[in-house]
């Protein structure tokens, strides 16, 4: 169940509950259900079908994308359905017909899901997720599939570029206050699987077992009668290994005071303003002069992959990234679509399907169920279902006949993402704007 906002009637004492638990089926657009109702009424709801999620293009300047969100999506597909109150609401508002309501009362996805592993690289045209099964069931998944994959993939794709730019130095995800409170938890997970080291988000850390970090804000410094008093309070509570925020007033003075209070074993300082290249170099020199040679320098302040790249030669030991990672570094959606690519005229997995495709200018797609593979660094797909012997299949079975068959841990996904990035050609890992390193194209093996 997913917590969401909904107005409720006033209860006893005039109190109005602020939240209720929405079934995954309600996390959708109305037109999914009006289409479903029409399929029920015309008898085609159980006809065999194939839908695919893919991106027609990458955000401008991106050379690759990283798929994320599958681990969040699959439980929602398995739990997709509606409770009695939701079905009454849908009937009362005319979103479904009575016959559709009868079917939805016991809805359970019975089809198959095949997908790129989470953390995998994708390019324009990559069939990152394939849903196959009864037409009505697969149709209803559209909005949920896209809302999860578009958000999480946008975050992971940006985070992966930032991790590359950081060249092994750890990055903290700290964008909770820059997005919706539930989206922040999803963003934490997506950034971590892409290679971020930790998060400031406690809910994300607790739910997904991600390391959490955090010390103080400028308000803490300002709340004390002096910077020295603030540092002393923090060190007394958290120990000398803590990170002291040194730029509330004057950075040089702040560093000197920090070392005086915490001693040469001070864990780290954080700089959140000014020219971070210049200030980090001055800080490193001063820390070394004061004997704090092992004290790390962490910087924050509107960082993204471009700024981190520009700071590559600076004596910085770690970064904190907020707004830019949770908003996809300027591209808050991955631009994926979910399209019907093949459909049969009767139910059953053995029913012959006919390819279908939209042909509208600028929004065209390729019909037929695709099997993706890679060979010599390029990505292809075939409509035959057969992967050449000299190539590697990309997709994996995720759900079969409604049952989950692929459930890696977040650590497994994180490791896969690292291998996927490492396998890219050097030019594809370049953070500078460029064209996608390859495009998924059809190669006929019939």
The answer, yes or no, to whether residue 16 has pLDDT greater than 50, is: no
The string over 374-388, giving b where at least 16 C-beta atoms fall within 10 Å of a residue's C-beta and e elsewhere, is beeeebbbbbeeebe
Mean pLDDT score across all residues of the chain: 94
pLDDT band at 366 (very low <50, low <70, confident <90, very high): confident
* Tally of CB atoms within 10 A around 256: 16
The answer, yes or no, to whether residue 238 has pLDDT greater than 90, is: yes
Position 4 scores a pLDDT of 43
Question: Which fold would CATH assign to domain 165-329?
Answer: TIM Barrel (3.20.20)
Position 11 scores a pLDDT of 43
pLDDT band at 201 (very low <50, low <70, confident <90, very high): very high
**Cα(235)–Cα(229) distance, rounded to whole angstroms?**
10
Domain 25-154+331-442 has CATH 2.60.40.10: no
- CATH 3.20.20.70 range(s) for the chain read 165-329
Residues 6 or more apart from 183 whose CB is under 8 A from it?
A: 151, 326
The answer, yes or no, to whether residue 264 has pLDDT greater than 60, is: yes
Mean per-residue pLDDT for 376-383? Answer: 93
Contact by Cβ (8 Å): 208, 189: yes
CA dihedral 355, 337, 67, 127 (to 10 degrees): 10
Q: How many helices and strands in the chain, by DSSP H and E? A: 15, 21
**Cα(344)–Cα(6) distance, rounded to whole angstroms?**
39
**Cα(369)–Cα(387) distance, rounded to whole angstroms?**
13
Q: What is the pTM of this model?
A: 0.93
The rounded percent of the chain whose pLDDT value lies above 90 is 91
pLDDT band at 358 (very low <50, low <70, confident <90, very high): confident
Contact by Cβ (8 Å): 278, 244: no
Contact by Cβ (8 Å): 255, 264: no
**Cα(125)–Cα(62) distance, rounded to whole angstroms?**
14
The vertex-179 CA angle with 177 and 183, nearest 5°, equals 115
The beta-strand segments (E) located in 92-227 are 112-115, 121-122, 129-134, 171-173, 198-199
The answer, yes or no, to whether residue 19 has pLDDT greater than 90, is: no
Contact by Cβ (8 Å): 123, 438: yes
- CATH 3.20.140.10 range(s) for the chain read 25-154+331-442
């Amino acid at each position: 169940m997913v917590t969401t906002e909904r107005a409720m009637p006033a209860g006893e004492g005039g109190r109005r509950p602020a939240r209720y638990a929405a079934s995954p089926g309600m996390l959708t657009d109305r037109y999914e259900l009006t289409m479903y109702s029409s399929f029920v009424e015309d008898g085609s709801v159980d006809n065999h079908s194939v839908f695919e999620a893919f991106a027609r293009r990458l955000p401008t300047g991106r050379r690759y994308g990283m798929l994320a969100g599958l681990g969040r999506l699959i439980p929602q597909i398995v739990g997709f359905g509606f409770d009695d109150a939701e079905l009454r609401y849908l009937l009362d508002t005319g979103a479904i017909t009575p016959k559709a309501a009868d079917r939805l009362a016991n809805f359970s996805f019975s089809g198959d899901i095949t997908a790129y592993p989470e953390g995998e690289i994708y390019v324009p045209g990559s069939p990152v997720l394939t849903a196959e099964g009864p037409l009505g069931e697969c149709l209803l998944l559209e909005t949920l599939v896209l809302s999860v994959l578009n958000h999480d993939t946008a975050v992971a794709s940006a985070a992966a570029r930032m991790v590359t730019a950081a060249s092994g130095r750890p990055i903290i995800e700290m964008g909770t206050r820059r997005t919706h409170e539930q989206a922040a938890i999803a963003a934490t997970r997506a950034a971590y699987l892409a290679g971020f080291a930790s998060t400031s988000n406690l809910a994300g850390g607790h739910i997904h077992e991600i390391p959490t970090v955090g010390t103080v804000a400028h308000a803490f410094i300002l709340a004390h009668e002096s910077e020295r008093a603030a540092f002393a309070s923090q060190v007394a509570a958290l120990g000398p290994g803590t990170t002291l925020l040194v730029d509330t007033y004057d950075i040089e003075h702040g560093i000197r005071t920090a070392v005086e209070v915490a001693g040469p074993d001070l864990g780290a300082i954080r700089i959140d303003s000014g020219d971070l290249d210049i200030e980090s170099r001055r800080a490193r020199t001063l820390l070394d002069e004061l004997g704090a040679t092992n004290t790390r320098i962490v910087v924050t302040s509107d960082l993204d992959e471009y700024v981190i790249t520009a700071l590559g030669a600076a004596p910085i030991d770690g970064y904190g990234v907020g707004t830019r990672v949770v908003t996809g570094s300027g591209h808050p959606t991955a631009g994926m679509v979910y399209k019907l690519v093949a459909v049969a005229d009767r139910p059953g997995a053995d029913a012959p399907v006919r390819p279908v495709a939209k042909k509208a200018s600028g929004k065209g797609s390729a019909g037929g169920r695709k099997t993706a593979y890679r060979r010599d660094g390029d990505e292809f797909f075939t409509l035959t279902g057969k992967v050449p012997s000299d190539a590697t299949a990309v997709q994996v079975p995720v759900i079969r006949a409604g049952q989950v068959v692929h459930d890696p841990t977040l650590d497994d996904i994180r490791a896969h993402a690292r291998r996927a990035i490492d396998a890219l050609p050097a030019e594809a890992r370049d953070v500078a704007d460029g064209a996608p390193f390859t495009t998924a194209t059809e190669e006929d093996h019939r």
